[in-house]
Structure 1
């Protein structure tokens, strides 16, 4: 839910269908221009009592944002409230309950990605230490009820908070109590987009399993390895899920455009305020028949905003977003883009990954999506064996893809090293969720507060 950046021409009215398509078509780039974008969210807590800070309290979220300006970040305001920052490393934004997100820059290799993440975390720790704040790397608040959490003063979140209970049982938990890591990658053509979309969507449950890191709810085990992932199955069926049509013959920019048009709206942004359009149709908006703005047609900026309100497991804007991973420890922030870059940015690797999944059926995709949140690597693979077995094959392909890229840092290290945490998980069969459950049931003696000692950045 990062901030949408307005570009030149975004205020132009949409008069033709091909203007909608142009957002996707314009994303196609030659391979030399492909970049890596990484987004990661963190829970913010007061070190004194592990509480979640409010926006306005002394040493709270506003002060955290303003403290970051010493590093060159520039405030972005909504009314009188600073709600985001922009800078050389991308954007920092707030999720609904104050989760702190870096939407990183467009970088040429994973060495730059990891340097960016480390730089950001150092800045967070410096300001956090001064304010008495810490940052927790998990997929779900382990000890907070919704009532324990503040709400950030952002107009779009007020609309979503009202709408979520109308369309699912867990949407408010998604907004208030989850964190994720996300990778954003480019495509070279429509055909390249189709293959990358299919591979990344098919393997998204595997990423969920590898990064499973949300086994606790309100101080106790919740029966899941990735409760964050389970939450998305009961959030809003009109804008979430696996998207079976991606695997159908004829999938294209146009087909995704049709899907996005049928995703119900949340809002329209006009003159510095959010107009509640929750549940209304963007098709009606195109026809000048939107009830909350009668006679007005959308601008390109409205379409780009609308694309950010669809939440499938893989999302397309002018690039592809891989959205299946829980938030996690610092080395996971580098491991997720390493996995997807290795699989998608080398043609031989992409073809090999497609060969692994191309025979999977819609029932296979659906079963994995339902089973992985609880079973993680123990879920059965459609290719035989378990997801742990599949992960071994996938990591071999990703490693070969990174080797073929041959991007070395100044010390001569390749990008392959960033897969290290995933190799350890696959070798042991234990996700971070399994590790945490072992500690909870063992050395911690059921004391969930110990998680702040091990999982804080």
Structure 2
């Protein structure tokens, strides 16, 4: 999230919280696609992490991009921490300097791919003279947590203080991982529920297909997606497979109740972030927040609180698919293609639900637990996940073909599934390919990743 919401309209009832989500509904003709991806910066010379300050640091990179693109500066306590584009896109910083493009809502995957090319070209124009490159791995492969620089964002300071109280790996999640995320629309509460259930159930399939974080601290870490495993020990109050989404009657109201039970991180007033970590949003609504007595909730408080929930699929005024490691440009486009193909055509959505509707909560949780290590070799309800992935990809291909969105060369969106179809056909993820490189031509060193696993 590039910029915290600023809307001081007061919120006084639970119904208003529910209505905030309902206001995200769109007619199907206006459904858009938003992609967000993070990439880990490094100095090409010496393969060192990039600090915020200094003539060749992250701030200098942002300043150069502001000049190149004309995008508006986003500041936090005098620190340049992001850029906002005129069409809704933004560039932001994750806690360890991971450089994020939050793409604008776009009509099709062709536009998404073009937006990504434009961003990467602009970033390279600025980053190359600074000696900065970007890894396309889902976790920084070499530096320890202590060696990783910390960006000067106020909300991250509060989160970093709270994370060790609720899990052992939250700081690793913040500082050392990188993801790609797809944001999709819903037409109604029922449509949201249908999409959330399919997306949650199949999120481990995406984790396996996009697994790309097999190295930590300079060596293999025992996982194909260490990033995904890290999320399993980050903060149980706000992460996971959201089992209540599969219960009868689930909808906006149940999701609101989950958020109300989820502890807060901060309340922002003006430019100041007030640390209220562990406090209740209900107390803020009632004016009984111990750290800010008399302060009451606003729309911006609710939007910001919703942005600090981290389930595998997150509801805001759209749905966010959160299960994949980042990869290169083709994999970023493939992530959008996978979910658009499954969720945006009603017949494909129904077929995708047929895959998962017989799974119970234990099935889903066991799959979530085994996929980070086993990837496509994991099993669900007696089936190998590779077979489930092949079925899901076939449905996604049918859904994309039915959309009929063509580029100037007449090609539809199914072209973007090809990297995933190749992975399923080979039965090997990017992580497994890179582990083979490590044992072979890389001669048990991660240093070659800084020349071969880059944008």
TM-score range with shorter-chain normalisation? over 0.9
Instruction: String of CA shifts for 1:217-239, please: whole Å, max 9, x gaps.
Output: 11111100000000001000001
Correspondence for 1:433 among 431, 434, 455: 431
Provide structure 2 residue ranges, at least 5 long, that are not aligned to the other structure: none
Aligned pair 1:229/2:233, yes or no? no
Q: Secondary structure at the match of 1:230?
A: helix
Aligned partners of 2:43 and 2:133 also within 8 Å: yes
Alpha-carbon distance between aligned partners in 2 of 1:414 and 1:295, rounded to the nearest angstrom: 55
Instruction: String of CA shifts for 1:48-104, please: whole Å, max 9, x gaps.
Output: 111111111211000000000121211111121111100146010000011000000
Alpha-carbon distance between aligned partners in 2 of 1:120 and 1:190, rounded to the nearest angstrom: 34
Aligned pair 1:405/2:431, yes or no? no
Q: Secondary structure at the match of 2:224?
A: coil
- TM superposition score normalised by structure 1: 0.98
Q: Which residue of 2 aligns with 1:52?
A: 49
Alpha-carbon distance between aligned partners in 1 of 2:259 and 2:452, rounded to the nearest angstrom: 41
Instruction: String of CA shifts for 1:238-289, please: whole Å, max 9, x gaps.
Output: 0100111100100010000000111100000112011000011111111111
Q: Secondary structure at the match of 2:51?
A: coil
Aligned partners of 2:2 and 2:82 also within 8 Å: no
Q: CA deviation at 1:4?
A: 2.9
Q: CA deviation at 1:425?
A: 0.2
Alpha-carbon distance between aligned partners in 2 of 1:432 and 1:299, rounded to the nearest angstrom: 44
Q: Which residue of 2 aligns with 1:332?
A: 331
Q: Secondary structure at the match of 1:108?
A: coil
Aligned pair 1:68/2:59, yes or no? no
Q: Which residue of 1 aligns with 2:36?
A: 39
Alpha-carbon distance between aligned partners in 2 of 1:26 and 1:208, rounded to the nearest angstrom: 30
Aligned partners of 1:88 and 1:105 also within 8 Å: no
Alpha-carbon distance between aligned partners in 1 of 2:390 and 2:52, rounded to the nearest angstrom: 44
Aligned counterparts, 1:36-435, within 5 A: 36-69=33-66, 70-88=68-86, 90-382=89-381, 384-435=382-433
Aligned partners of 2:142 and 2:215 also within 8 Å: yes
Name segments (4+ residues, structure 1) moved above 2 Å.
1-6
- TM superposition score normalised by structure 2: 0.98
Q: CA deviation at 1:3?
A: 2.7
Aligned partners of 1:313 and 1:322 also within 8 Å: yes
Q: CA deviation at 1:22?
A: 1.6
Provide structure 1 residue ranges, at least 5 long, that are not aligned to the other structure: none
Aligned length: 453
Q: CA deviation at 1:21?
A: 1.0
Q: CA deviation at 1:385?
A: 2.6
Alpha-carbon distance between aligned partners in 2 of 1:50 and 1:228, rounded to the nearest angstrom: 21
Alpha-carbon distance between aligned partners in 2 of 1:5 and 1:257, rounded to the nearest angstrom: 18
